[in-house]
Structure 1
Amino acid sequence: MRTGQYLNRRQLMLAALASAPLLSLTNRTSASEQLDFDKLYKSFGVLGLEFSDQVKNSAGKQVEISGFMAPPLKAEANFFVLTEIPMSICPFCSSDSDWPDNIMVVYLASKQTFVQFNAPILTRGTLEYGSWTDPETGFVSQLRLRDASFKTV
């Protein structure tokens, strides 16, 4: 009887070990949805940019997006602009009607050291969309990440 119990335990352990990589892969992919700059908007209509279904469905959820950090306006800011391509100047606009389709504002959960404008980064945070004016700076944005962090890639 002990031999049968040993085989059952062994089979159980092998099955658990075999499924462990699948569980970690599932958790990793479901933690944050991946966004791409070229899929943030679905059209340029009469009223301007229209957000994609992916953006609308991801609002309020953790997302990741890769890009570049535009030079910050001041050294101790808790936010920066994420751009699709490296920019040597800050791309903030005077109104949301002029908002480019390849940037988003990133509000950091905690202060981090900024990186060079040409260093690729991966940013993770909670997605918000729609016109919003920051009460502290007066900057207008269409897309934002809140409680965000980033790392160089």
Structure 2
Amino acid sequence: MATINYYSPEGLQKLKDELQDLKMKGRAKAAEDLREARDKGDLSENAEYDAAKDAQGLLELKISKLEEVVGNARELDETNMDLSKVLIMSKVKLKNTKNNAVLNYTLVAEEEANLATGKISVKSPIGKGLLGKSVGDVAEITVPAGKLQFEVLEITR
């Protein structure tokens, strides 16, 4: 059974653009690499041809997986979402109760996650622990380093 994932409009467009790029440019390059390798002589002893065939197979696998992701993707309509609870696409301001550090995260789908930009997956331990919490709630989250407690200070979209 396919898993439905929810994306921001930008995140879904990025996936669609990547898929289109792989289909057009990726396949064209793979075909060109195969043509060049085939022109180099006997295929039974041509390691370049074998490598090009393997690369083509991996490209087709990546395209297939990305098609499945895009096919099961749904764009979120943020206008109807409850602002009082942490949900996917929520921007959350948190305070670590242990060291009083303030953190800002946006909860997104796995494929959109990028810690450098403050986007964490709703399937990550912190993301799972925050889902459904309201302002003032303290979430106790188990991470590989131990247990952390975060107080939800603010929820925005």
TM range (shorter): under 0.3
Where is the helix percentage greater, Structure 1 or Structure 2? 2
TM-score, reference length from structure 2: 0.25
